[in-house]
Amino acid sequence: MSRFIDELQNLKLNDTSLVVGNPKGGCMVFRQSIAVLLLTVLSVYAKNEPHILPVGAIEALSLLKKGNDRFISGIVRTDGQAKEDIARLFEWQGPNAIVLSCSDSRVSPEIVFDQKLGEIFTVRSAGAVLSPSLVASIEYAVETLGSRLVVVLGHTNCGAVQCAMDTLGGKSAGSANLNLLVADIHPRIRGKVKQPSKNLETESWLNARGAAQDLVKRSDLIARAVTLGKIKIVSGLYSFTTGAVVFD
C-alpha cells in the first residue's frame, strides 16, 4: 500500500514543466489527474480509518511526545483498545512509528507513549541490541507498513548497558548468547568512557545513538529510505525518575 501511495505522490508531484514540448504531455497530465483523484479518495478513506495510513515523521514524533506528556500527567487515553478497534484493525495496520526499545519491563513503549492498538510497531531487545531478525522487522514496517518514523529508545539505569560496561575488559557476560549481546553494545561505548558510571545515563545515550547509526549501517533498505527522506530516525532516553522521554 505504501509503495503504491509513494508512486502516486511521485506522479502527482511530477514537475508539469516536463510536459511542455513533450508529445506525450497529454498522457502525463491525464495520469497526474488520475493520481490526484486516487490520493483524494485515499485521504478521505484515511480520515475515516485513521490508522490505515501512517502519518508523517514529524507528526508521528509529536504524537509520541503528547502521549508521553499524558503518561507523566497520569491522564491517559481510554480509547483505541475496544472491540471495535480490534475489528477495525483486522485486515491491515499502519503504525505511525516504529519504536526500537530495550526489553526492560519498566520501559514499555505503548505505556510510556500512551499509544493504543495499531499505533506503534514495537521491536525490543535487551539494550536495543540489533540482531538480523530485529533489523528485518524494522525493514518490514518501513517497506510494507509505510511507517515514517523510527525511534530508538534507551533508558537510564539500563542493565544491558551496565553489563556491557562490566565486560569491556573481556570478562564473560554469563553465556555465549549474552556475550554476543554485549559485543553489539561494546563498540558504541568502547573508548568513550574510562570506567563504568553509576547512573549510566551517558552510556545509555551513547548506546541509543549508536544503535540508531548502526541501524542505517546494517540495512541497505533503511539507509535508502533515510536518503530518500521516506523515514526519519531519532533516538531518545526514558528517565526512571521522571517518566519523561527526552529526544535528541
Do you know the residue count of the chain?
A: 248
Site map (CB under 5 A) of Zn ion, residues 186-225, x = contact: ----------------------------------------
Q: Which is nearer to Zn ion, 60 or 211 (CB)?
A: 211
Q: Looking at beta carbons only, is 53 or 102 nearer to Zn ion?
A: 102
- We find the least distance from the C-beta atom of residue 162 to Zn ion, in angstroms, to be 9
Q: Please compute Rg for the chain using Cα positions.
A: 21
Cell of 29: 497530465
Q: Sheet harboring 232-238: ordered strands across? A: 120-124, 97-101, 149-155, 232-238, 245-247
Shortest CB 187 distance to Zn ion, Å: 17
Q: Give me 112's grid cell.
A: 510510556
Min dist. Cβ of residue 142 to Zn ion (A): 24
112 binds Zn ion (CB under 5 A): no
Distance in Å, CB of 148 to Zn ion, minimum: 26
> Which amino acid, 224?
R
Instruction: Give whichever of 145 and 153 is closer to Zn ion, judged by the CB atom.
Output: 153
Q: List, as own/partner pairs, every contact residues 1-10 make where C-beta atoms lie below 8 angstroms and the sequence separation is at least 24, other chains included.
A: 1/53, 1/92, 1/94, 1/146, 2/54, 2/143, 2/144, 2/145, 2/146, 3/143, 5/39, 5/42, 5/53, 5/146, 6/230, 8/35, 8/38, 8/39, 8/42, 9/35, 9/39
Neighbouring C-beta atoms of residue 50, cutoff 10 Å: 14
104 makes contact with Zn ion (CB under 5 A): yes
Compare residues 168 and 226 and give the one whose CB is closer to Zn ion: 168
Q: What angle do CA 30, 4, 14 make, to 5 degrees?
A: 45
Of 104 and 119, the one with the shorter C-beta distance to Zn ion is 104
- Per rule CB under 5 A, is residue 64 in the interface with Zn ion? no
Selected range binding Zn ion among 22-30, 62-70, 99-107, 130-138, rule: CB under 5 A: 99-107
Question: Taking every pair of C-alpha atoms in the chain, what is the biggest distance, in angstroms?
Answer: 71
Nearest approach, Cβ of 79 to Zn ion (angstroms)?
A: 30
Task: Assess 102 for contact with Zn ion (CB under 5 A).
Answer: yes
- Each residue 129-168 as x (binds Zn ion by CB under 5 A) or -, in order, gives -----------------------------x-x--------
Distance CA 146, CA 243 (A): 29
Cβ 47 to Zn ion, closest distance in Å?
38
Based on CB atoms, which residue is closest to Zn ion, 60 or 102?
Answer: 102
What residue ranges bind Zn ion (CB under 5 A)? 102, 104, 158, 160
